[in-house]
Structure 1
């Protein structure tokens, strides 16, 4: 009895305070690992060569924080809504809301507070266009959580649009015009990665019960392969048309960095397609970080693209 009491006392002393546990659960629900996706907010300023001024860095930093808050609000509301279903899932049952670490009403409350605060802050700290885009992102993502994630093809379009909005918002915050080539390449590049991930999930779940996404039972592997191949082709075409566009001939550089960057871009797409074809293309950031060759190609492309923009 004494040993049991001592053991219970030790467990009680080691357990984190309720408030500390709640805050930790809220942070886990906000998916810190996914925040790297919001680095896309630098895409438009970097493409325009206007990233490194003091004003641009401040605005991009603010936009990154605000977009992260919006994404966190979506995760919180989504997990609160799916708490009952997640408890029956072998992996998702460990999520803080499903596990009871974060009460469902608290998840809803924090999610909606973030959803209200972020666009409001953007209107005062950035621009009305930035606030409007954040509001549109939230509306689209909440609609996705409620019903759109169950609609064939539309689910791919919504997730792709979320990536495209990340890439657009930095330009809107700084008043930078977004070129058609930027939108085409970014949009179809995002669709390539999203559909490649879905394809990989479908391949891995083939012949198994309990797909992690309900729609994977309705998509065919052949269709998803068609989508990522089509998207990769359009992204490459859009990028090449930008690189070969009139006015792209360098004036100060010895080498045509703008045209040479096509090689690195195409190699990166081809290398990523290897993982898509194998059915191992999961989260885009994981694919890039775990493959050294792809990371090196990516660094080479960034360097050549930077030189091309500087020479623009």
Structure 2
């Protein structure tokens, strides 16, 4: 087979499967975390306002696109290391199924379009999404290699999601709610680090930062932030909101945290929190019941 024929077949392969591999690289399964943008509209009592709900939905889509583009950039930066990872080596960029140049061009287009869309919703929303983009870029290239700071950077991303949701509808956010979000995201981040440290073969060689953690340290951090999450959320339901019955949602939060810790310690799961939330039926049901209970307690009672 001639070089020209080989090149032609390769070009045909890339053009045929480009969108499929690009969508896989955007990791839509991990977009569930962007649902945090709906927290302000839910707890501010504006969920039934169609205009505000549409604005919040736009912010959700923007963060999904931004997150997807940042995943592509992360895969581009880590493609050499990912080729030696037992799971990540199958990603389109690491496996060579998605050309780096095409992936980079798509990421730039998605980032640019999403940022322009966010500024169209207001300069506050645009500024927050810009900070989020810079923060994720910093995480990709150096912050994820700094012990403890890597987890706090992840937590900052969740706070920015909540802040963007609040800015979109011009609603204040309780400090207690923001602290609860920080603690919950730290809990998820530390659980993920523990899973990576214990389960993945040669994890420390793939990610040098894991060698700076220990299982004992992570166990203590997980216990601390899990307890603090429950306490702070309970304080929020009692003091941070005008809804007198929201406190009855605390047991669901307690059960959800306990269930997640059970999955971490007894089933050795937790490497991908977004997937775990969807595939574990008791945990998914808990989140669903918590959402419904908050809606009923805030809007019907």
CA contact (8 A) 2:83 2:95 kept: yes
Aligned to 1:150: 145
1:131 aligns with 2:126: yes
1:223 aligns with one of 217, 221, 238: 217
Query: Structure 2 length as normaliser, TM-score?
Result: 0.88
* Selected match of 1:309 from 278, 298, 301: 298
- Match status 1:62 vs 2:50: no
Q: 1:9 aligns to what?
A: none
- Is the Cα contact below 8 Å between 2:122 and 2:168 reproduced in 1? yes
Paired residues of 2:151 and 2:186 also in contact (CA < 8 A): yes
1:290 pairs with one of 270, 273, 279: 279
Q: CA deviation at 1:152?
A: 0.7
Deviation at 1:209, TM superposition (A): 6.2
Answering whether residue 37 of structure 2 is matched by residue 49 of structure 1, we say no
Q: Which runs of 5+ in 1 are unaligned?
A: 6-11, 251-256
- Structure 2 residue 101 is the aligned partner of structure 1 residue 105: yes
Query: What is the count of residue pairs matched by the alignment?
Result: 294
Q: Which residue matches 2:117?
A: 121
2:4 is matched with none
1:24 aligns with 2:20: yes
Relative to structure 1, is the Cα distance of residues 287 and 87 closer, same or farther in structure 2, using a 3 angstrom cutoff?
closer
CA RMSD of aligned residues (A): 2.6
Greater C-alpha radius of gyration: 1
Task: State the match for 1:244 in structure 2.
Answer: 238
Match of 1:262 among 250, 257, 260: 250
Given the superposition, is the C-alpha separation of residues 16 and 294 from structure 1 closer, same or farther in structure 2, using an over 3 Å criterion? same
Normalised by the length of structure 1, the TM-score is 0.85
1:153 Cα shift?
0.8
Written as runs of structure 1 = structure 2, the 5 A alignment for 1:170-185 is: 170-185=165-180
Question: Which whole-Å deviations, capped at 9, do the CAs of 1:214-237 have from their partners, x for residues lacking one?
Answer: 211210111111111111111111
Per-residue Cα deviation, 1:227-264 (whole angstroms, up to 9, x for no partner) = 111111111111111222287574xxxxxx32221122
1:120, 1:75 → 2: CA distance? 19
Between 135-144 and 293-302, report the one with greater CA deviation.
293-302
Q: CA deviation at 1:212?
A: 4.7
Q: CA deviation at 1:17?
A: 4.8
Secondary structure at the counterpart of residue 99 of structure 1: coil
Indicate if the aligned counterparts of 1:43 and 1:168 stay in contact, CA closer than 8 A.
no
Contact 1:77 1:112 in 2 (8 A): no
Deviations, residues 103-124 of structure 1 (Å, cap 9, x unaligned): 2222222212222221222111
1:311 deviation in Å? 5.6
What secondary structure is seen at the aligned counterpart in 1 of 2:135? Answer: helix
Flag structure 2 segments of 5+ consecutive residues without an equivalent: 2-7
* Within-5 A mapping of 1:177-216: 177-205=172-200, 212-216=206-210
Q: Distance in 2 between matches of 1:228 and 1:48?
A: 30
Deviates more, 1:190-199 or 1:162-171: 162-171
CA distance in 1, matches of 2:45, 2:114: 27
Point out the more displaced range, 100-109 or 62-71.
Answer: 100-109
Query: In structure 2, how many angstroms separate the alpha carbons of the residues matched to 1:249 and 1:116?
Result: 40
